[in-house]
C-alpha cells in the first residue's frame, strides 16, 4: 500500500435528482474523490450518464473525478473528458486489444491512466502492460450496477497484483470496485488496495461521513 486507504464514493448510487446535494454531502463527509461510472448499454447491460452530466457535476464540485468508463469504444469516449482534468481516466482491458496508445494519450494530458479488469479476467493479463499504468481497477462484481454482492475470489487478485506487479511499478495505484463494505474493507486495504470505491455502502442512512469513516478506518 502506498499510504492510507482513500475512499472514492460511486455517484451511481446517489439520488440523481438531487445531485448537487449528494455531492455536497460527499464533500462534507470527507470523500477523497468521486467515482464516476460511465456506461454505454453495450459493454455492460445498463446505461448511466454521459459527458454532459459529468461536465455539469464537475462544475459544482471540488472533488477530484475518478472516471470509470464501461464502454465498448474507449477511443471514442475518453477524449470527451480531457478538458475536465480529472484525477483518473480508467477503461476496460476487455474493451480493446490495443490499449497502449490510449493509455499514453491520457497520460500526455496530465491525467492518471488506468485499466479496469472484470472478475473473470486473470490479473496476469496486466503483467506485460504494468510499466505504463498509473492505476489498476479490480472489479469485484460484474460491472453494470451498484449494490451487488462482493465476489471474494475476484478480491484475491488485489494481493496477487500487490505482490507480483507492484514491484515492477512502485507508483502503481490499486483500486477496488464492487460490493465494498465495512466488513471486507479491512482485508482489501491490508492486502494492497490504495483506493476503495464504494456505492451502496456510502449512499445509505443519515450520515455519509460516518459511512466513509467506517470504510477508511480499517
Ligand atoms: C459497477 C460500478 C461500481 C458500482 C459500485 O458497475 O463500476 O462503481 O457503482 O457500487 P457498489 O459499491 O454498491 O457495488
Ligand atoms: Zn465503477
Element (H, E) at 31: none
Counting ligand 1 atoms within 8 A of each CB, the residue from 16, 151, 178 with the most, and so the one to mutate, is 178
Pairing of strands 135-139, 65-70: unpaired
Catalytic residue among 40, 66, 162, 177: 177
Contact 18, 7 (CB under 8 A): no
Residues in the chain: 218
pLDDT of residue 27: 98
Look at residue 169 and give its three-state secondary structure: coil
Contact 62, 27 (CB under 8 A): yes
Q: Using a 6 Å CB cutoff, which residues line ligand 1?
A: 10, 12-13, 35, 37, 68, 141, 143-148, 177-180, 197-201
Catalytic residue among 37, 66, 134, 194: 37
pLDDT of residue 140: 98
Ligand 1 centroid to Cα of residue 145, in Å, is: 6
Q: Which long-range CB contacts under 8 A does 74-77 form with residues at least 24 apart?
A: 74/99, 74/102, 75/102, 77/38, 77/40, 77/51
Asked if 177 is an active-site residue, the reply is yes
From the CA of 68, give the closest atom in ligand 1.
7
Give the CA radius of gyration of the chain. 16
pTM of the predicted structure, to 2 decimals: 0.97
Give me the residue label for grid cell 480499517.
Answer: 218
Counting ligand 1 atoms within 8 A of each CB, the residue from 90, 145, 146 with the most, and so the one to mutate, is 146
Domain extent listing, the chain: 6-216
For the chain, which residues score pLDDT lower than 50? 1-2
Question: How does pLDDT run across 74-85, given as a tens digit for each residue?
Answer: 999 999 999 999
Pairing of strands 195-198, 135-139: unpaired
pLDDT of residue 217: 87
From the CA of 143, give the closest atom in ligand 1.
6
Ligand 1 centroid to Cα of residue 166, in Å, is: 24
pLDDT of residue 3: 58
According to CATH, the topology of domain 6-216 is TIM Barrel (3.20.20)
Q: Whose CA is nearest to atom 1 of ligand 1?
A: 143
Ligand 2 centroid to Cα of residue 10, in Å, is: 7
CA distance 181 to 123: 22
Show the beta-strand stretches assigned E in the chain: 6-9, 34-39, 65-70, 88-92, 112-117, 135-139, 173-177, 195-198
Question: How does pLDDT run across 32-66, given as a tens digit for each residue?
Answer: 999 999 999 999 999 999 999 999 999 999 999 99
CA distance 38 to 25: 21
Ligand 1 centroid to Cα of residue 130, in Å, is: 24
Asked if 83 is an active-site residue, the reply is no
Contact 95, 74 (CB under 8 A): yes
Amino acid at each position: 500500500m502506498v499510504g492510507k486507504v482513500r475512499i472514492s464514493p460511486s455517484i451511481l448510487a446517489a439520488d440523481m435528482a438531487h445531485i448537487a446535494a449528494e455531492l455536497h454531502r460527499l464533500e462534507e463527509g470527507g470523500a477523497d474523490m468521486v467515482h464516476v461510472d460511465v456506461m454505454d448499454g453495450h459493454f455492460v447491460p445498463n446505461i448511466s450518464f454521459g459527458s454532459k452530466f459529468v461536465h455539469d457535476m464537475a462544475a459544482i464540485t471540488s472533488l477530484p473525478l475518478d472516471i470509470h468508463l464501461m464502454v465498448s469504444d474507449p477511443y471514442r469516449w475518453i477524449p470527451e473528458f480531457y478538458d475536465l482534468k480529472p484525477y483518473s481516466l480508467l477503461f476496460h482491458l476487455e474493451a480493446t486489444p490495443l490499449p497502449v496508445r490510449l493509455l499514453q494519450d491520457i497520460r500526455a494530458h496530465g491525467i492518471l491512466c488506468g485499466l479496469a479488469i472484470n472478475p473473470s479476467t486473470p490479473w496476469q493479463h496486466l503483467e506485460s502492460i504494468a510499466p505504463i499504468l498509473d492505476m489498476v481497477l479490480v472489479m469485484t462484481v460484474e460491472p453494470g450496477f451498484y449494490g451487488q454482492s462482493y465476489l471474494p475470489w475476484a478480491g484475491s487478485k488485489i494481493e496477487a497484483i500487490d505482490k507480483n506487479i507492484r514491484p515492477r511499478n512502485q507508483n502503481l495505484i490499486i483500486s477496488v470496485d464492487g460490493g465494498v463494505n465495512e466488513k471486507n474493507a479491512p482485508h482489501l486495504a491490508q492486502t494492497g488496495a490504495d483506493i476503495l470505491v464504494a456505492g451502496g455502502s456510502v449512499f445509505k442512512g443519515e450520515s455519509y461521513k460516518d459511512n466513509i469513516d467506517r470504510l477508511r478506518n480499517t
